[in-house]
Structure 1
């Protein structure tokens, strides 16, 4: 019972939580939205144009929910605020009043606020930088205060507000408008400070950071002074900020790298982890270089992340990379103008680097940024530096520092280095080189060292590699490879030799022709771990059936934005495939093999399959009704099914609503009388074929004989004028025999008959080469006075022998019926049950000669043969 009681309580709490988690209308006139989060209930009145703040607080006070934690009331044009306006909101944890027209708060406005920790008053009209303005109305409970985006009076020197009484304040965001940052005593608990002018409504103008600018911020952890028109930094500016971990100096385009040596000097004494020095150089200035003295002290810091993007850096002084700290794990070098130099051969000096961002090299910036960057004055050339006193630039120190780093080489000169290999930091995992303006035909193998590298993600997208047939790697741990939009027309058979790869993006290339070629389409054979393959927008019209046969772990296949009309791929091995994206193609149907595979895979993996067929012309026809019924049955598995269209046989295009209304009638409409008519036609045709076939079979030899005679008559052949004249025949006899009896013909028949001046036609000797066998047989029969059949069991098994017998029989019946031109010689005893009907009938109705090996009988046999030739008669059988 105890467990049941607990279960019921949990269910009740779950139902209450689900009910309270839903967004519902609330507040004055139900203009706001309420929900819940981790801190409690949230009332969102942001931009609802509520006329008075007091109406919102009254609604909070009168609601059944007594502990609203967060109130969002920005963008409502509230003006002056006093204690009366806030009655009912005293329990708030967070109050957002940003983007209003508030110019003044009453002294006791937050007197009864005992829980308020986060207050956002940004973008109002409060004159916080005037000396007469007092922040005393702010509650002492605040831990986060946002005051940026206020109107600045340029007629007087601005001063920061005195926030001494906010002893719990840890996060502060306000405009930076003075070199001397002073917000009063007791602010040494401040952890995070933002003076950034980067947002469109914030302001910051701090030309110089001196050693005393941030003297109060001894506990600061995160400091953001981005976009503050900064021009210089003193060497000791950050020396006392021992707890500093995150520093953002980005978008100070007038700073350049002139003060970076001073910056790196001060960071030695901090707990720095992340430095953002992006966009310190003007977007439209000349290219710049990074020298050893710029980062001379950086090796002695604990920096883990450096962002140095958007600085038009073209080159690093040789051996500068050695001075990067071993703690460095992430570097963002994107949006520069890097050119090849010896420094690229020292990338392995960043021994613990995990993430390298180097995309968008040589990016063309839009001209509007020239004005946004405030570049009316030409910055001092980065080469005009003061002489450095840094002791770590000496070659001896650099050489020793390089020696202490694994795989790091100190370069005295560029030296001889093969360009068919490159050193990567061993632990590098993420490499982004997208849109780097790399224009190469990768025809050769390119070796990455060490071979046992840790690279997992490699992005080479938006470059130009027309031909990519070399091997690039090895990358034994790679999981994601992006070479989309690289204009690739040809991939090597072994280029994608990455057995560990799981995601491959090849979209927006030109691989359509290759993937249709049976000899070149097997480029995915080694990708045994691949799970997602994107081949969209490749100009594919047809895929070779075995293109994906090796991808047994493939779950997602994207073939969208091609021109595929028929998708006929082998799916028996694709046992993991669940999602196929085929939208924007020319498909009319999906084969039953693919449909069955998707269903079976979903059952096998206890999951659901998905198919996207948007923007195809699916055939709505009787021939396609199996697919259409399947589509209707699994419409929940179709992505954006409501967008599908169907093409009728008359060319009309129908939408999904029409499809769903008509699909139930399709089977009936298609059935009609078609099946009955077809069955009747089949029956009649079968009977007719049987009758005609029987007649043809009965007279088959006569028909074949008449057909041949007709061909001779009408296509240039003429009969001999007088069959009774001896000179009209070329041979006395045509010998018809089986190949198994050739020795008898060669040893007996030919010698003994030709010795008596009997001319014989033997097919192995007298048939004309190059002429059809059937034609040679007919001419031999018609050119011979007699046709002698040497009958044996082997004779009956030969189709050509039977052809010779039947043609001779037809000649005897229809052309020389009074001459008896067919003679059968019984070479061996042949059972009557083995003879065809025509042969048996002829034997029974006509005479034949029986061959024997007995001396007397053999002599008589040959006499009969000779006599038959001379007197044109045949002796009766013995």
Structure 2
């Protein structure tokens, strides 16, 4: 008995030692994970560095109260730990001493973020204390830096830093010379700044450049005066969410090693011939969320090296032949293996062979993604030509079925994943899919279709029962989301019943079909023979009246027009001041355009360059269905904004107060309130923007207001 107790005592002791590595765990406000070798400390009351277990190699100090960082300040972790990663975020740091990092001999990654009061020059001097043979990754985000000293990284010229991230600051320029001291820099991330001007000199070894969400209007210059590349090693370029309006065949010269390019969320109206042809090694191209795109020229995708193309959420009309050339659009990139065209307008059922003409050159395609593209029918002879096709996604379209499945799908043993979720498929029978497809598939998604629970569905029910409900499963196929998303839609008395619970048998269906067919046929004939003549006789006066009313309606329509024509180019024109530009561009416009599929007019993006501003305002305001006024104290002080308010009032007098929507971004003080603003606010309710609980209500009210009709305006004679 004593030996058993002794054994369990030793076992428990060993477990405790293993869990704590022989040391006490972190004390509040710190939290440690021994297996991950990490520690995190967060408390505004913490004004010193606590001692941490010796196993800690990665430490995060977030939301503390560290005023001055020095060598002695870090003594508790430099004397007992081998720190390789340190994160200092939002710690109210004011300055850093020159020797602050002298004892971090193993430090590889340092992050100093959201330290808005930090003196940048003290940080620059503190670089002297880095162990330059170890440090290779720096992150400085959200510090509200607008400009960097020219010699910012001079003290790191002997370092091996490969990655530098300075996202979410307020940097205005990219001056490559500042980073030229970092002779091994491979990745430079400057996303979410306000960069407009770019000089790439000094970045000769750079491989990845991230400029997402800046203020870039033109593609940067990649070639120097001698025709050589500023960035000859660049492989990844990200320019999403800028204000670029044009690309052409010279836009990407001198980038012959570029492999990945992303230009999503920009304002191109057309993709021109040979835009990407200089990118001889381009492997992956992202052109998504470009909602203003109207034309694709014949050789726009002249990129033989291209393997992946993501052309999503552009709302481009491939169903209109004058917008592109179906025969040539993909003929110059025959090596594509992945194509995603989600949320565009592909040819309808009557033009399904146009889809075949577009995609037939892509014989090496392995993954084809076409959700939400308004497809109604599948083209004959397209998929059999794609010998390597593994994944086909047709989710969220209007496909209701097809005939001759052998010619639609062919003998495709390569196809492993087929997604037909949320279409209009009612019936699945023995001929819906070729046997070769069902035997080779690993994943099939038919969920959320409009299944008809009649005896015609009996084959599908038996196939499901045999393959997914019986204990002896015959293949490795997975029927996605079965059974919860496979429900009856027809007939009405079975609507909502899971297909799993609909269990017809051949015997009951045979008997039911025999009598039902006879009864329905006889009833239909009798009704037609009796009801139609009777209705015509009894309702002849009403018929004549209806014909008279229809003629009158047509005449009135040809001689009158409504004053509230919906033929506008934009859903809304936004009136705002320069101080509120960031909220308008980054929050309001992105929300309405990306999530609500609206077209918004803002002067920063739409106005004609060189034209008088008064003419621009009048021209573009007339193209917009409604006007959104974003108000604040800065707005009230702007003379231009007050002039635009007068234009809003004039528009309201013509079309009613429903033409304008008022947003109070920041409450206007009484001493800033003008007579015109007061009149506008007294006559029209306004929306108050707020974060948190009321934000969802704000967006709901705004979207409904933009979509709400003006009402019933008067009728004017032509």
| TM-score when normalising by structure 2 | 0.56
Within 1, Cα distance between the matches of 2:311 and 2:177? 35
Does 2:400 correspond to 1:466? yes
Q: Residue 750 of structure 1 aligns with which residue?
A: none
CA distance in 2, matches of 1:125, 1:531: 56
1:252-306 Cα shifts (integer Å, max 9, x gaps): 1x11234x534321213xx21111111121xxxxx722110533423xx201111
1:236-385 → structure 2 map (5 Å cutoff) = 236=223, 239-252=229-242, 254-258=243-247, 260-268=248-256, 271-281=257-267, 288-298=269-279, 301-312=280-291, 313-321=293-301, 323-324=302-303, 326-340=304-318, 341=321, 343-346=325-328, 347-361=330-344
1:369-413 Cα distance to aligned partner (Å, 9 max, x none): xxxxxxxxxxxxxxxxxxxxxxxxxxxxxxxxxxxxxxxxxxxxx
**How many Å apart are 1:74 and its aligned residue?**
1.7
Q: What is the match of residue 52 of structure 1?
A: 46
How far 1:332 sits from its partner (Å)? 0.7
The answer for the alignment partner of 2:665 in structure 1 is none
- Indicate conservation of the 8 Å contact 1:320/1:343, yes or no: no
CA–CA distance in 2 between the matches of 1:334 and 1:432?
A: 10
1:222 aligns with 2:208: yes
In structure 2, relative to structure 1, the CA distance for the partners of 1:430 and 1:310 (3 Å cut) is same
* Cα deviation digits, residues 99-138 of structure 1 (max 9, x gap): 3322211222111111111001011125566699634355
Q: Who wins on radius of gyration, i.e. which is larger?
A: 1
Equivalent-residue separation in structure 2 for 1:132 and 1:26 (angstroms)? 32
Distance in 2 between residues matched to 1:23 and 1:417, nearest whole Å: 71
Question: Quick check: 1:158–1:178 contact (8 Å CA) kept in 2?
Answer: no
Task: Measure, in 2, the Cα distance between the counterparts of 1:145 and 1:119.
Answer: 5
- Per the TM alignment, residue 452 of structure 1 is displaced from its structure 2 partner at its CA by 5.2
Alignment check: 8 A CA contact 2:237 2:261 kept? yes
In the TM superposition, what is the alpha-carbon distance from 1:329 to its structure 2 partner?
Answer: 1.3
State the match for 1:190 in structure 2: 185
CA spacing shift, 1:502–1:514, aligned 2, 3 Å? farther
Partner of 2:74: 86
CA contact (8 A) 1:515 1:521 kept: no
Deviations 1:773-799 (A, max 9, x none): xxxxxxxxxxxxxxxxxxxxxxxxxxx
CA 1:133–1:188: 2 relative to 1, 3 Å: closer
Q: Which consecutive unaligned segments of at least 5 residues does structure 1 have?
A: 1-11, 198-203, 282-286, 364-415, 544-559, 571-878
Cα distance change on mapping 1:179 and 1:355 into 2, 3 Å: same
| TM-fit CA distance, 1:526 | 12
CA contact (8 A) 1:541 1:564 kept: no
Instruction: Indicate which of 480, 496, 499 corresponds to 2:417.
Output: 480
Once residues 147 and 426 of structure 1 are traced to their aligned partners in structure 2, the CA distance between those partners, rounded to angstroms, is 46
1:664 corresponding residue in structure 2: none
Hey, what does 2:57 align to over in structure 1?
Answer: 69
- Pair 1:441–1:305, CA change in 2 (3 A): closer
Taking a change above 3 Å as real, the CA distance of residues 420 and 316 of structure 1, as seen in their structure-2 partners, is: closer
Q: 1:538 and 2:486 equivalent? A: yes
Q: Is the 8 A contact 1:72 1:95 kept in 2?
A: yes
Look up the match of 1:114: 105
Using a 3 Å threshold, how does the CA distance of structure 1 residues 515 and 345 change in structure 2: closer, same or farther? Answer: farther
Within 2, Cα distance between the matches of 1:531 and 1:456?
14
Q: Alpha-carbon deviation of 1:522?
A: 6.6
Shift of 1:344: 3.6
Contact residue 364 and residue 386 of structure 2 kept, 8 A: no
1:208 to 191, 197, 202: 197
1:169 to 141, 145, 161: 161
What pairs with 1:710-729 in structure 2 (closer than 5 Å)? none
Q: Does 1:428 align with 2:365?
A: yes
* Aligned equivalents of 2:476, 2:202: Cα separation in 1: 55
Could you tell me how far apart the structure 2 residues matched to 1:168 and 1:316 are? 44
1:292 aligns to what SS in structure 2?
coil
Which position in structure 1 is the counterpart of 2:139?
Answer: 146
Residues 417, 485 of structure 1: CA spacing in aligned structure 2 closer, same or farther, 3 A cutoff? Answer: closer
State the 1:67 CA deviation. 4.2
8 Å Cα contact 1:192-1:220 kept in structure 2: yes
**Contact 1:314/1:337, CA 8 A, preserved across alignment:** no
Q: 2: distance between equivalents of 1:25 and 1:457?
A: 52
1:433-491, Cα deviation, whole Å (9 max, x unpaired)? 1122x14155xx62116635211111111112234445332343111111111132234
Q: Paired residue for 1:234?
A: 221
1:308 Cα deviation from its structure 2 partner: 1.0
Q: CA deviation at 1:223?
A: 1.0
SS of the residue corresponding to residue 63 of structure 2 reads: coil
Structure 2: give runs of 5+ residues left out of the alignment.
1-10, 347-351, 469-473, 506-718
Alpha-carbon offset, residue 319 of structure 1: 3.3
Rounded to whole Å, the distance in 1 between the matches of 2:33 and 2:140 is 26
Partner of 1:507: 447
Q: CA deviation at 1:307?
A: 0.8
Q: RMSD in angstroms over aligned alpha carbons? A: 3.9
Give the superposition deviation at 1:358: 1.3
SS in 2 for 1:151: coil
C-alpha distance 541-334 of structure 1, shift in aligned 2 (>3 A): closer
- Residues in 1 aligned to 2:40 and 2:140: alpha-carbon distance in whole angstroms: 20
C-alpha distance in 2 between matches for 1:122 and 1:96: 8
CA contact (8 A) 1:227 1:251 kept: yes
On the 8 A contact 2:59/2:86 being kept in 1, the answer is yes
- How far apart in 1 are the matches of 2:500 and 2:314? 44
Query: Residue 481 of structure 1 contacts residue 503 of structure 1 at CA under 8 Å; is this kept in 2?
Result: yes
- Structure 1 residue 43 and structure 2 residue 26: aligned? no
Shift of 1:20: 4.8
Instruction: Supply the distance in 2 between the matched residues of 1:19 and 1:228 (Cα, whole angstroms).
Output: 49
Relative to structure 1, the CA distance from residue 350 to residue 147 in structure 2 (aligned partners, 3 Å threshold; closer, same or farther) is: same
How far apart, in 2, do the equivalents of 1:293 and 1:136 lie? 45
SS of residue paired to 2:77: coil
Question: Which residue of the other structure, out of 360, 376, 390, is the alignment partner of 1:440?
Answer: 376
Q: Distance in 1 between matches of 2:403 and 2:22?
A: 56
How many residues get paired?
A: 450
Q: Which one of 502, 511, 517 corresponds to residue 457 of structure 2? A: 517
Check whether the contact 1:24–1:33 (CA below 8 A) recurs between aligned residues. no
Q: C-alpha deviations, 1:121-162, integer Å up to 9, x for none?
A: 011125566699634355134211101211246xxx654661
Show the 5 A alignment for 1:603-642: none
Q: Is the CA contact 2:176–2:203 (under 8 Å) kept in the aligned structure 1?
A: no
Q: Give the match's secondary structure for 1:72.
A: strand
2:251 partner SS: helix
Closer, same or farther: CA 190–343 of 1 in aligned 2, 3 Å = same
